[in-house]
Structure 1
Amino acid sequence: MDATTAVPASTPPRIPPGPRGLPLLGVALDVQKDVLGWNLRTAMEYGPVVQYRFGPLRSYLVTHPDGLKHVLQDHVKNYTKDHFGYAIIRRIAGNGIFTSEGATWLRQRRLAQPAFHRARISAMGAQMVKAADELSEHWAAAQRSGERRLAVNDMMSLTLRIVGEALLGTDMREEIRAVADSFNTLNEQTVERFRTLRLLPPILPTAYDRTFREARRTLYEVVARIISLRRQRLEDHGDLLSMFMLAKDEETGEQMDDEQLRDEVLTMLLAGHETTANLLSWTWVLLHQNPDAERKLHAELDEVLGGRLPTAEDVPKLVYTRRVLDETLRIYPPIYSLTRKVVADDVVCGYQVRGGSSLYLSPYATHRLPEFWPDPERFDPDRFTPEQVAVRPRYAYFPFLGGPRQCIGNNFALMEGTLILATLAQRHRPRMVEGYTPTPETLLTLRPKGELPVTLSAR
């Protein structure tokens, strides 16, 4: 059987195949060593649904689009975030819209949805371009001096500033470094704790746990300041934080307390900047490696913009620019792996999955299945022409997930990415420094290891 072909639904349920792994550890060591490679190799070898042991836990890997539709859309209530992986993430972000479940999630989603309406997002475009234009001035100075820039750091600082201003109505420029450093610490530890099944909360008097607590305290203090300042001028500024602060429960009339607000602000700060920053960082890598695509991008920017700064109204015209981002998201999806808890026994792609188990999805692996992506390692933005998109299953490509839990900020992120790329790529060509090899670093999101040192050359 072709490893990427789903089993017909009429076939009686079968036990999924999969690697045996080691006693007690299962495949944990292989996953720790190379989670991306393991997911892809395993999907290609064993098929659409794979069964294995991760430590003592029965686990499944689902990569076929039919299975993804089943899990994320058609039977979403049977696959929840009541999983130890999310319990670990809650130690950072609390019970915000990303980690919450049930009625709490639904309430928060409904409150947040108006802030991500297309008209509101378009109104944020000027803030995005202004911030990118200011970074461009720093890049221009580096161009003249020959100074190296760390592109990952630049993209992180830029998107963190934009999230602060556009979604939270707060100027965070003075706190960007503290937030970024604290998040990096928590990011690294969270992934390590998950992969080593280190389930005990960070409460021990060890240097490791103290570092976690101190980094989290720094984030909490920044968020508390944001909330305190906004409470002093409590009015609707049209941003997400205003909506959360002014919203009242339909039944009780109660408003969100500071703890719930903190969790939502943390979620938007961390999830809202990290993913877009990594998307842009990988875009610079792939444009450097693919000069033909870079030339096509420059030609479109010249034709549409003619040297001026972009606006939100230009985004629909920047067709190839958007395809560049889409193809980058295919090759290096920021959310490269995610997990769910299986509530009750079910059948996925003709295979039986057991209730109480862990179920993993891998955008990284699905985006490389040759059945849907010929020559999958090749960078080709024209995979995303309307004609090409129409012949692929919906869930062959899911960088923002799908179904009810699809990322609420997907349109915000794509407009932000388009405007930043258009602003910077008009004027600069980031070139990776000699000797640097971009390799993926699998933290909570997928970023280039080594912060992507670049030199800048003019268009």
Structure 2
Amino acid sequence: MTATSAASRPTPPRIATGPRGLPLLGVALDIRRDVLGWNLRAAGYGPVAQYRFGPMRSYLVSHPDGLKHVLQDHVKNYTKEHFGYDMIRRIVGNGIFTSEGETWLKQRRLAQPAFHRARIAAMAAQMVRATAELSEQWAASQRTGEPRYGVRDMMSLTLRIVGEALLGSDVREETEAVAAAFSVISEQTTERFRSFRLLPPVLPTAYDRAFRQANQSLRDVVARVITKRRERMEDQGDLLSMFMLARDEETGEQMDDEHLRNEVLTMLLAGHETTANALSWVWGLLAQNPDAEARLHEELDTVLGGRLPTAEEVPKLVYTRRVLDEALRLYPPVYSLSRKVVADDTVCGYQVLGGSSVYLSPYVTHRLPEFWPDPERFEPDRFTPEQVAARPRFAYFPFLGGPRQCIGNNFALMEGTLIIATLAQRHRPRLVAGYTLAPEPLLTLRPVGELPVTITAR
């Protein structure tokens, strides 16, 4: 063999290393005890870490190049046919978030017009009006000194906005039912995943009954929304109208109630839970970082001068948006996601075997010090145009990326910017004495204890 032919051989992929774990269980107990800390430690093994989660071979891919490979360049090799998504399908069925292939593509094409920038801008007035009503509630609490729970307030607000803007429905009367049901489902789904409890909740136990009852409660809420809208089948320009009036190009059939329910459940939960958590983190982080809060107030005074914000002013609220972006970096609501590997592949030079699981963690990647110096520090100016351009695209991915990027990302970013601007003009939420701001990793990443705050004046 010549030296030339040997040199031309492709370099074989390396075998990734990672935490050893226990026989049979692998690292399941470690993840159950501290999923965020465990992921950070696992990323220390390199851009791809290999481990056993229960009986399953798994990989944590943390480097932006690997994320680009999985989410964009070779996306068809990494599917949502994974037991983690099977659990989510128990809640939202096979909607746009969980579906694959042609089914997903058809759903995406159908939903895309509802998220056109012009349509989203037209929803701004609804967002601000709802937020201004919450501001009046905060003002009342400000006078009495009564504490509020930031997570609850943000959940109620974003649920109302999603109902009005995307579903054309007033769901305020359903807020408590949705919150209670989702709390049960979120806690149980998280526990079932981390303990590798894969069987569906069909047993006659109190635990399984609680899940079924919560799931049915959500479906009842959605059924009421759909029934009301079917009574007036006109195009109101919202997402639900588009789904209800759409017809299959080949058969002429419209969506049946089950399909419609799956899409509404997806938008109802994904469209309010994640944004509410991101905003909750904004208030907690601003309370801990008075210099950033002062800069935010200065911008709001300059741009708005005491007026309520409009869609036209959102591009001028540059620092406000950076505050939101930095909160999403530190505490991304979707802090971990999974994919099933279809066929053997090489990621960042490491072997990834078909049939295994790949996990991606925005929480981890957003803390890699080579892209985020002093990563635990809250610093909105990480998102100046210059700093953004200097980082790889997938160093920051709170809304994922590639063709499966969150369809509602622009909706959520405008909504979040308008809510921050409306409330921060008048109020300064302060953490109650004795409360420690810390993450609670359930289905999404929220502040522990629902963020108790007192409302003070600017």
Extract unaligned runs of 5+ from structure 2.
1-9
Question: Are residues 1:19 and 2:33 paired?
Answer: no
- Between the aligned partners of 2:407 and 2:33, the Cα distance in structure 1 is 32
Equivalent AA in structure 2 for residue 359 of structure 1: V
Question: Are residues 1:333 and 2:325 paired?
Answer: no
Equivalent residue for 2:370?
Answer: 371
Equivalent residue for 1:283?
Answer: 282
Structure 1 SS opposite 2:372: coil
- 1:402-423 deviation per Cα after TM superposition (whole angstroms, max 9, x unaligned): 0000000000000000000000
- Between the aligned partners of 1:222 and 1:275, the Cα distance in structure 2 is 19
- Between the aligned partners of 1:367 and 1:192, the Cα distance in structure 2 is 25
- Between the aligned partners of 2:457 and 2:330, the Cα distance in structure 1 is 27
Equivalent residue for 1:323?
Answer: 322
Equivalent residue for 1:38?
Answer: 38
TM-fit CA distance, 1:11? 4.3
- Between the aligned partners of 1:74 and 1:251, the Cα distance in structure 2 is 31
Question: Are residues 1:299 and 2:318 paired?
Answer: no
- 1:343-397 deviation per Cα after TM superposition (whole angstroms, max 9, x unaligned): 0000000000000001000100000000000010111100000000011000000
Question: What RMSD in Å do the two structures reach over aligned CA positions?
Answer: 0.9
- Between the aligned partners of 1:11 and 1:167, the Cα distance in structure 2 is 51
Equivalent residue for 1:6?
Answer: none
TM-fit CA distance, 1:42? 1.2
Within 5 Å, which residues of 2 pair with 1:228-267?
A: 228-267=227-266
Question: Displaced runs of 4+ in structure 1, greater than 4 A?
Answer: none
Question: Are residues 1:136 and 2:135 paired?
Answer: yes
TM-fit CA distance, 1:438? 1.2
- Between the aligned partners of 2:20 and 2:138, the Cα distance in structure 1 is 51
- Please report the TM-score for the alignment, with normalisation by the length of structure 2: 0.98
- Between the aligned partners of 2:91 and 2:437, the Cα distance in structure 1 is 28
- 1:402-449 deviation per Cα after TM superposition (whole angstroms, max 9, x unaligned): 000000000000000000000000000000000000110011110001
- Between the aligned partners of 1:43 and 1:416, the Cα distance in structure 2 is 33
Equivalent residue for 1:153?
Answer: 152
- 1:294-323 deviation per Cα after TM superposition (whole angstroms, max 9, x unaligned): 000000000000001001111000000000
- Between the aligned partners of 2:100 and 2:33, the Cα distance in structure 1 is 31
Structure 2 SS opposite 1:303: helix
- Between the aligned partners of 2:200 and 2:334, the Cα distance in structure 1 is 24
Structure 2 SS opposite 1:457: strand
Equivalent AA in structure 2 for residue 70 of structure 1: H
- Between the aligned partners of 1:220 and 1:397, the Cα distance in structure 2 is 34
Deviates more, 1:17-26 or 1:313-322: 17-26
Equivalent AA in structure 2 for residue 34 of structure 1: D
Structure 2 SS opposite 1:447: strand
TM-fit CA distance, 1:17? 1.1
Equivalent AA in structure 2 for residue 224 of structure 1: A
Question: Are residues 1:454 and 2:456 paired?
Answer: no
- Between the aligned partners of 1:267 and 1:19, the Cα distance in structure 2 is 35
Equivalent residue for 1:169?
Answer: 168
TM-fit CA distance, 1:12? 2.5
- Between the aligned partners of 2:49 and 2:102, the Cα distance in structure 1 is 32
Within 5 Å, which residues of 2 pair with 1:400-411?
A: 400-411=399-410
- Between the aligned partners of 2:200 and 2:42, the Cα distance in structure 1 is 31
- Between the aligned partners of 1:454 and 1:388, the Cα distance in structure 2 is 33
Equivalent AA in structure 1 for residue 284 of structure 2: V
- Between the aligned partners of 2:429 and 2:88, the Cα distance in structure 1 is 33
Equivalent AA in structure 1 for residue 200 of structure 2: P
Structure 2 SS opposite 1:297: helix
Equivalent residue for 2:226?
Answer: 227
- 1:235-261 deviation per Cα after TM superposition (whole angstroms, max 9, x unaligned): 100000000001111111111000000
- 1:185-228 deviation per Cα after TM superposition (whole angstroms, max 9, x unaligned): 11111111111111111111000011111111111111111111
Equivalent AA in structure 2 for residue 316 of structure 1: P
- Between the aligned partners of 2:154 and 2:439, the Cα distance in structure 1 is 16
Equivalent residue for 1:214?
Answer: 213
Structure 2 SS opposite 1:347: strand
Structure 1 SS opposite 2:354: coil
Equivalent AA in structure 1 for residue 143 of structure 2: R
Equivalent residue for 1:4?
Answer: none
Distance 1:306 1:11, change over 3 A: farther
Equivalent residue for 1:85?
Answer: 84
Structure 1 SS opposite 2:252: coil
Equivalent residue for 2:3?
Answer: none
Question: Are residues 1:98 and 2:97 paired?
Answer: yes
Equivalent AA in structure 1 for residue 15 of structure 2: I
- Please report the TM-score for the alignment, with normalisation by the length of structure 1: 0.97
Structure 2 SS opposite 1:69: helix
Question: Are residues 1:117 and 2:116 paired?
Answer: yes
- Between the aligned partners of 1:392 and 1:274, the Cα distance in structure 2 is 28
- Between the aligned partners of 2:328 and 2:174, the Cα distance in structure 1 is 29
Structure 1 SS opposite 2:50: strand
Equivalent residue for 1:394?
Answer: 393
Corresponding pairs, count? 450
Equivalent AA in structure 2 for residue 333 of structure 1: P
- Between the aligned partners of 2:150 and 2:341, the Cα distance in structure 1 is 39
Equivalent residue for 2:4?
Answer: none
- Between the aligned partners of 2:47 and 2:392, the Cα distance in structure 1 is 14
- 1:4-28 deviation per Cα after TM superposition (whole angstroms, max 9, x unaligned): xxxxxx7430111111111111111
